[in-house]
Every structure is written in structure tokens, then in C-alpha cells.
Chain A
Amino acid sequence: MYRSTPTTTTLSRVQAMARTPSLLQRSAATISARTIATASRAKLNTHRRQQHQQQLPLVRHFSVSHAANNAEETLVEREPRETMEYDIVIVGGGPAGLSAAIRLKQLAAKEDTEINVVVIEKGGEIGAHTLSGACIEVGPLEELFPDWKEQGAPLNQPALEDHMKYLTENHAIPLPHPPQMNNTGNYIVSLSNVVKWLGEKAEELGVDVFPATAASEIIYNGDGSVRGIATNDAGVDKEFKPKASFTPGMELHGKLTLFAEGCHGSLTKGLIRKLKLRDEGKFQTYGLGIKELWEVDPAKHTPGKIIHTMGYPLDYQTYGGGFIYHMEDNKVSLGLVVGLDYKNPYLSPYKEFQRFKSHPLVSDLLKGGRVLSYGARALVEGGLQSLPKLFFPGGVLIGDTAGFMNVPKIKGTHNAMQSGILAADSAYKAIVTEGLGEEGSEPIVLSGYEEAFRNSNIYKELHEVRNIRPSFHTGLGIWGGIMWSGLDSMLIKGRVPFTFQHPHPDHAMMEPAAMHKPIDYPKPDGEITFDILTSVSRTGTDHAENQPVHLRLADKTIEVRENLPVYDGPEQRFCPAGVYEYVDDEAKPGHKRFQINSQNCIHCKTCDIKDPAQNINWTVPEGGNGPQYVDT
């Protein structure tokens, strides 16, 4: 696919190739947080004068929001950017975004009309940032392509046997599994490959697909409606100054913008706050999924076998569980999901995953095999209770950026695709059939989409399971949850007049370190368990050097001032890519400083979710950066 060529990486990458992977040596400088938004007028004017002298384009200072999470705040002036007009702009090339795009083009083809659709995706190619277990339901895929098998969609391994186990340190006790966890008719896939295939189909149908393109800003009309998005400026150095290769971003305007960024989207979070799409006191809750892909000894491989686990290594207070899926070609996808509402600041989801692998059930399977890929991504756990309003003037939210994952089933892909299809149907009706959204007219308010959602299978599913995840929030921990969930999923099926709420957002659940003891995690053995930097090198992640650090701190002192003493610096433990470290401060002996190795980032969004101070703001780096997941 067309790729904005990374430039500065060329030099460093080619040199890096001559040596061993240098992620181990990479340590990006501490961010100096040159938050231009807070720079004094004088500094701004000096900068402008320097700009003129260098005869570089007068550009605005990039939207570095000093207040956390203001991804859409732009600064005063800049040269107007080029714009491209579309009927529909879709942010995010994942299952939801691509399903919507495909559906729109299919409707247009059927009725012999035209509709211009663009999909932009921050990953280097479609599928590069897609990571999942995954065992998916094929209903929505069949709706889009009834002949998906003949067309070569990479769903080759049907799910054949389901197992559920409760793990203690050395044993695996079989558990009865609730009926929803039955996977007959589903397929074990690499979601990245399925999404790649969807991307090809979208292009064949005439969708403009632009990977390696990051949407960094939402463009609003004067009345607060969404007009489209802007891609980020490329060729900006660490100090936010334009380099010789500076290429300004572009604006993509649409009659409707579909936000399909996945869990905790960087633009969506600002949108929800600015347009107040969630009621006061409502919030989303999350989990972190960490996985590896292994090629195992054929003697141990049972294609189609699915195992879900609870218990070890997590304690009764921590929600989560493991999965092991036997795919085709002797490949096994396995991982651990940890609920991000965990309380113990000493918990490291990455190291819990390593412990999971050392359980005999898992290590026996993996011995003699080799690891192919590693990755991690936050996932949505809030369910129906946490859904924001799905539509607003000029746009809608589809897929996990809204949050349609069915947590007990740990399946969200089919719902994401379905939501994309529903949005596409409504959007097509509004734009083509009813001719809304023309230049100068009212922005489109797609209430039909939310209505369709409420009448859909997605809603039915989420309604039925809405009380299951929250039932784990009581003092009884997972025991309370298992008891209620067993009852609810087998008998009650959600038919109660009450709905359990989530008591607190995940970041507020972390307790001070003084209330807990450090966990003594075993050292990695290098065969089954690995250290974090080795794992990160398996994600293929890379970020062009000399660009602004994309992890922004609203207050650059809070980490050392509060998070370190109170929570013992949890960032060093909750990030599954080793981005955050507290290192000795050379300038202040005896003190620590907070270091951000942003080049290791795998775009999982956990830091933005779990930081107790809510100080870290994940913003999107240059398009094409981030992980290069293969077969995940």
C-alpha cells in the first residue's frame, strides 16, 4: 500500500541493522515537554522570527495540549492546509472501519449510485496494528461476503473443542463452561490477516484506503459539529520545529466522519469529553490483553482446540484469564487478559503473562516450540453501561471505540463489524437516499444508527451479559463474580430489572503501594518466558527518530512527585512494552527522573487508561510508526 516514507529512520535503521537490535540501547531523551501552548508570547514571536529567517513555512505550533487529553485543541494560527472532500471519512482501518467502508460501496454498487469513502489507518499497512486472540463469529462477515470462503478470506481453522479450566499453581481443574462460551461455528483466526483481507476487498470496491496516515486532530465547524479530521504534520523534530522534510498534514472533510479507532481511541476520547457524549459519572472500563504466537511441536498441536482459563497466576481480587487457541499450521495463539481495575500497584500484567506461560498446562505445550510474535492491546470491558452516545452532529462512533465487546465471550470483532454495517446503512440512507449533508446544509445527525443499534443483536447480546463483568467488583472478587456469572449465564440470562454499575474508573482503583507487598516475579528463562525488551523486539515496533514524543505529560513533575512515592511508579509495570522507567537523575543525584522510551510503544493505550494521576496523554505519532504485527 502507499506509504508515507519514513525518512530519518532510514539512516538509523540501516545502521541499526548492522548491529544487533538496538531497542535495548534506545532510550529517548526525557521529554522536555516543550509545551508550546504554554510558551510565553515572547518565545512564540522569537520562534516565528527564526522561522522567517530560515525560510521554512510558517506553521503553527503543533497541537501539544498541556492540559491532559485535549487532542483536538489547536493553536492560534497556521497556514491553511490542503483539504480533500469525501462523502464519508473513516478513521481507523480495523474490522469496524473496513466493514463500514465495504458496506457503503456495496450499497452504492447495488443501486448504481456513487459514494466517496476514505479510510485512514495509522499503521504502516492495514493489519499492522491489529492484534487479537482470536476466535470470531462470522455472522457479519457473511452479511458482507456470503461467499467469503471462495473469495479466500483467511478463516481456515474452525473452532472444534472448547475447554474451560481453573488453574492453581500446578494444576488445571476442568470447569463447566457457560453456553455462550461455546464456539461451534466460529473460526480461530489471525485477526490481522482477516483485516488485511478486508482491506484488499475495500480497495477492490473503490474505497480510498490510506495506511501510514495518522489522524491527529478533529476539525469542527463553528457550530461544534464535526467536519472531518486532519492528519498530522510529518517531518517535525523533537522540539516541535519543522525539519527540512516537513510535510504539512491534510484535512479530510466528510459529510459524516466515522470514528473507528478501536479501544480508547485518541481522537474519540477528546470527542467524548468535548461533546459530552457520556453522562456525568459514566466511564469506560478496560482490560489489557497480552499475547504471543507460537509454533509448537506438531505432536502437541490439536487444531481447533480452545482453552480458556481462570485463576493462576491472578489472585482472587484481580479479574482476568488466559486463552490458548490452536490455529492452523502448528501455530498456537495464547495470552492473558488482566482487568485494568486491579488494585495492586506492584502488579505487572506482562510478568503475570510470563507466569501464566510457566504453568505446566502451558509450558508443556510450548516446550520445543518457538515464539513468532508478541503484542498487547487494551480492550473494552464496560459493556452496555459504559457506552457513550453513538452519534453527534457530523459523526458517529463505531466498533470498540464505542465499546461493543461481549466480555464473558471475550468477543468483540463481530459486534464491531456489525456496528460498522449498521452505521453504513444509516449513513447511506442519509447521504444518498435523502441527500443530506450537502455543502452549506445542516450537519448530519445520524440518530437512525443508534436506533438500529438498539434493535440489533449487538444490543441483545450486551444486554444479556451486562451484569456479568460488574459482578466481579465486589469484595468477594472473582468468587462473587463466578457465582453470579454462573447463575446469570446459565439461568437468568440478564432478565433482571437491575443493572450493576462499575464503581470507579480503572485509574482510580489503584491503591497505594503501602497497602500491598511487591510481587516476587520469577526471572525469565529465555525459552518459555522472556524479558520485556526481547518481547518488544518481536512486535516489530519502530518510531521514526527525531519526532515529538507522542506520550505527553500534562504535568511533568507528577510522576516523580506522586506516582513514584505513592504507587512506587506503576508505569514501569503496567506498560507491556517497557516505555516508562524511573532512572537516576544525573542532574540531581539521589533523585529519580521519569524517562519515556517512546520508541518502544506498541500503541496499546494502557498508560492513558491506568495512570492514577491521569497525567499521561497518548497522542498519535507519525503515520506508519508503531508495531508491525504479523499473524497476530
Chain B
Amino acid sequence: REAQLFVDKFEGALGKGKGKKFYAYKVMMTKKWMKFQRDFENFKTACIPWEMKIKEIESHFGSSVASYFIFLRWMYGINMILFGLTFGLVMVPEALMGKPYGSLPRKTVPRAEEATAMNFATLWDFSGFAQYSVLFYGYYNNQRTIGWLKFRMPLSYFLVGVGTIGYSFMIVIRTMAKNANDDGGGDDTSFNFSWKMFTSWDYLIGNPETADNKFASITTSFKEAIVEEQESRKEENIHLTRFLRVLANFLALCTLAGSGYLIFFVVRRSQKFALEGLENYGWWERNEVNMVMSLLGMFCPTLFDVISSLENYHPRIALRWQLGRIFALFLGNLYTFIIALMDEINLKASYLPLFNIFNLEEEKIVKYNMTIWEASLYNGTIPENSTAPPIQVDPADVPRGPCWETMVGQEFVRLTVSDTMTTYITILIGDFLRAVFVRFFNYCWCWDLEYGFPSYSEFDISGNVLGLIFNQGMIWMGSFYAPCLPAINVFRLHTSMYLQCWAVMCCNVPQERVFKASRSNNFYMAMLLFILFLSTLPAVYTIVSIPPSFDCGPFSGKTRMFEVISETLELDFPSWFGKVFGYASNPGLILPFILLMVLSIYYLNATSKSYKEANLELKKKLQSVRNKELQ
């Protein structure tokens, strides 16, 4: 038998056999083709960004930590596409074909601000030149078409805004569906440990670094399997466990309620301080609200961690509870903050800047002022009629109306930048300095720093995942008002990936109990979907009900932003199209359509449930057949 193998293998080399040159040639071509395919597969894998880094992290820290980085990479992909949309369809056309800087009042830095427009401090704050550029909503002119291509700028702006939201929804739901598919496949666990032992070493490895990684990943995989085994073997005193879990949930609820009340109280106090004049109080009182919210965000998760040790769950489920609780904490804090503010306003109708931006009164005042100013210009020169040529006024001198969209965009950009800075500084100080401290001061310290307090830090999965999700929510909220946000986010995610990969490998230690991430990342996706929904609500509300500013942006002059669609339909499409659209948007037609969709959703749901059940039945049958074989 072995001799046969030998001859088969070397048939091409051992003399040309029966003179079959063609056969040898064919064999050679087959080998070359296989080699080419292999190289192409290698190339394709090498093209996936950061794959080697993530594999390295996975082998040292386990699949749950790696799942965070895979999530980060997926988010990077989405942001790249959003960036491509906003950059290519909104910013580039405006930059190339729109009227250049300085040609219109809305595109120029007003005279009053000109002196400080180029200072670094102003630019860092995103005012000055940065404000009056393609980066923000206010720069865009409301001309219907621009340039020789007749590019319809306002329409494009509107569609890109809606399109980014629609695309995000679609891709999140598609990923959830795909993950659900994977999860339903299930795996054959009948020989789990045996297979791990006998088939995990890849005999093809010839490189010492890869060998290191492989050893680490085998060890981690064994540890994960051991944890699963221990969890399934644990004996539970049902009543005690249930009681402890109820107690833990109660404590968590108390914490949440306590933090909500604290924020409410602090906001009220700060309103009181504002009324009495901020100069009378020190730094703490002035920044009380921010500080309290940050402190709560820092300490409550640790508290939740301690509480969860009561519950004695499988580590993966414990992670989910932790994520859920921190999520509830942040949302609760945010809502309490907003409610406290609104409460204050109702009480006093005070003139808070945030709600000033919707104030139409101010717009009317500015319009009135502008007509007076124009009249004053004409007064000095022409006595009576209007056939005189328009006066040349430097655009920087024209009085400007308020532009709330740009202000909102600026707030979001500032928030994103400060959030990024905070994250990086926390990583550098919290992880790196701590590791350096433990490493070098261990020699001259009373107790063993590496095992006791503070020791090296573990990678905080829940904190990082939530940070990522909330950050993305802010991007979604703000990208309609500041087209530059996806670009900033792409840059941030890119640097964040490298920084965190380095920090994890250099300063963190693997967790005590390494556990396998669930096959589907649906939990992260579900939270992302929820945040997406929440963050598109404000933008959609402003599009539909609030009139845009009269003096800035691509929709200035209209009563509602979505009117650009009806305008396009009237002017750009043939008339029968408009008629068809008119009929189609009749409520009598839309309601049955919605009903039909609801019914089809119900039907598809029912069929998918029945398929799943059939699947389970088949699996059970397979299992019993296999068991019979074994006996």
C-alpha cells in the first residue's frame, strides 16, 4: 500500500512513464492551478484589515475580547461607507462647484469674528474658519442647481442625510439576520474535548511566532472549554440562587434610582446657582452637573460589577446583564437630565440657549434689522427708484441671522472630539501608567503589587463596547447637521484600533475565567439598533416639523426641509410622474399597503418558527442514530 502511494506521488518524476508527455503536462498545470488558488486565498485573507492583530489578541485573550475588536472593525467599515456618501455626494460637489468662500454672506466669516478666526483655539472649538466651511450645514447655498453639471445640491444633501440613516438600519438588520442564521446552525459537541486535543495542532506551522500564537490559542481554547464544562456541572441550590439574584436586581434598581435622583437634585441646584450669578461660586459649583455625571459614569459600573458577583451566572450571561445595567444607567441619567432641564424651563420660561435656537421671534427680529440696514445703505446714495445698480457690500459686513443647525452640528463635533480625548487619556493613564507603576515599583513596595492591588488591569469589554455604541449614536444624530462627522469618526476609529490593540497586548492581562463569546454578536447589534432608532428621532423630527433657518443652509427659504422633494418632483420630472406620485401618496392606498406588509411579516415569522422546529427534530434524530451506532 505504501509502495503504491510512493509510485502515485512520483509518477511524474519517475521517467515519463509510457511516453505520456501530455499527462505530465496536465499534472503540472493542475498543481500550478492549485497553487494559484491557494495564493489567491492567502491574498484575500491578507486583505482583511487588521486580521493578524485580531488573531493575535484572540489567541492570548480569548474570543470575547476579540469580539470587541471585530465589532470595532465592522463599525469602521460602516463609517467608511457613510464617509464615502457624505464626502462624495455632499462635500466634494460643494467644494468644487459651489460658490467659493467669501462670495456670499453665509459663506464668510462675519466682520466681528474676523480677528480671531484663524486662532488655533477658535479652530479647535470649531468656530472661525472651520465653521464657515463645507464641514458644517451653514455653508451650503440654497441654489437649486450648482455648476455646469446642474448638480442639485439641496436634493443631494437631503437624500444623503436620509440615505445614511436608511443604510445604517439596513446593514444592522442584515447583520442581525446573518448572525441569527449562524446561531441556528449549532455545532456537534459530542466529541468536543477529544477533537480539541487531537486535531487542534496544525502540522503545517513552520514559523515560531505562529507557533507561539497557536500554543496560546490552544491553551485559551482549552480554558474556555473547561469553563463551559464547570458551569454545566455546577450544582445549584435553586432557592438560594434565586433569592440572591432577586436581591442583586433589587440593589441594582436602587442604584439606578439613586443616581437619577442625584442628577435631578444637582441640576436643580445648578439652576439656582445660575440665577444668583455664577461669580459667587467656586469651580465645583460651576461644573457640578458635568462632574456628577462623569463620576456616576465611573463608579456605578464598578458597583454593578460587585453586585453581579452575588448572582453567580455564566460569565457570558453576566456580561450581558452588566451591559444592560450600564446602558440603563446612561439612558436614565440622560433622560433625568433632560427632564430636569425642561422642568426648569416650564417653571420659569427661562431663556436657556439650547431652546433659544428654535425661537422664531429672534429670526423675525433679525429679518427686520436686515431690512433696516439695507434701507440705510440705499438712503445715502439714491433718492428714489429701484433701477439703481445694487450696492457692493463686502459680504463680511452683512448682518447674519441665527443658524441653529450649524450650532447643533458644532455641539456634536465638540462632543465627539472631547469624548475621543477622554477615552485616549483614560487608556494611557488607567492602563499604561498603571502597568508601568506596577512593573517598576514592585521592587520597592511593601506588598506584592502584581497580585494584590492594583495589579495589571483587565480589558473592560462592557465599558468599551458601550462607549463605541454611544459614540456611533452621536455620529448618527449629528451627521445631518455636520457632514464632516463621519470623516472625524473614521479617523477616530482608525487610531483607536491601533491604540487599543497596542494597549491590550502591552498592559492588560487576560481575565481569570476566559469565556467564549457567543457565536452571534446579536446582543451588541440589538443595542446598536436601539441607539440608531433613538438617535434618528431628533433629526427626523427637525426635518418634518421645524422650519429651517432663513439665512443658512441648503434649505433656507423653505417652510419645511422636505419640501425639496416636492420641488424636485414638480420641476425635474415629467408631469405624469407627478400625477402618479400624487395618486400613490393618497392615504387610501398607503394604509392597505401597510396592512399588507404587517400581514406578510406575521406570515414569514410563522414559517421561520416552523422551520426552526423541524430543524431541531432532525437534529435530535441524527443524535439518536449516532448514539445507537456507538452502542
Do A and B bind? no
Residues of B within 8 A of A (CB): none
Residues of A within 8 A of B (CB): none
